[in-house]
Amino acid sequence: MVTLEAVREHPEVRCYLEMGNIFLGNIGAIEHNLEHAQLTSELTARILTVLGYSAREAELGAIAGYLHDIGNMINRYGHGMSGALMAMNILLDMGMDAGEVAIIMGAIGNHEEHAHGGIVNNVAAALILADKSDVNRQRVRKEDFAQFTARDRVNYAVTHSDLKVNPQECTIIMEMAIDTDVCTVTEYFEIFLTKMLMCKHAANYLGCEFELVINENRLL
């Protein structure tokens, strides 16, 4: 059985993730480094574990979370689909069961909101929530505020983010603190509306209600 630890130690995985992040840095995109991969992996597994899914399904979520941005090595746009194919080759070579590979491929291939991604399985739902919750100013690489895109500004405005899963109340709450001197709450919501709606659908798929709370005000 292929484990998360084995995937993390695979030399191709580390190379592709690191090179993809370097390539994104060269075009000014925010960080998609190993820290983001690890955090997404941990959050995906935690969501599934807290909601009562099996340990193996949670581990598949952790693997999908770790690999979800591997396609950035090819191109930022469409990286979900290219990443799914890259993950397939690596995982099959490692001896993973084809059915488990299919679950991970579906999750990776559907985590992008701008590539018509959708919630195709439990792992995909948890991955979407984990990935979209990692928003903070440390991921913005540009130092000149005048060069910020609207998405750079929104990411930089977030000083704290947290994802809370409450199985008793069947809620998944994304809490954020935003520096309103950088951008307004309304601007954040407008720019990331597609992401937040995707999170809402993902939470619903897992049998939960989704709440977005910014600066202690509930927006969704």
CA–CA distance, 66 with 44 (Å, rounded to integer) = 9
For 16, which DSSP code?
H
- When pLDDT is averaged across residues 30-53 and rounded to a whole number, the result is 97
Mean pLDDT confidence for 69-79: 95
Tens of pLDDT, residues 149-195:
988 999 999 999 999 999 999 999 999 999 999 999 999 988 899 99
- pTM for this model (two decimals): 0.96
Where are the domains positioned within the chain? 4-218
> For residue 189, what pLDDT is reported?
84
State pLDDT tens for residues 112-154.
Answer: 887 678 899 999 999 999 999 999 999 999 999 989 998 899 9
Quick one: pLDDT at residue 118?
A: 87
| pLDDT for 115 | 61
Tokens 């370097």, residue? Answer: 22
The answer to whether the CB of 129 falls within 8 A of the CB of 199 is: yes
Average pLDDT over residues 78-87: 96
Q: Would you tell me the crossing angle of helices 55-67 and 34-50 to the nearest 10 degrees? A: 160
State whether CATH 1.10.3210 applies to domain 4-218. Answer: yes
Q: d(Cα 68, Cα 107) in Å, to the nearest integer?
A: 8
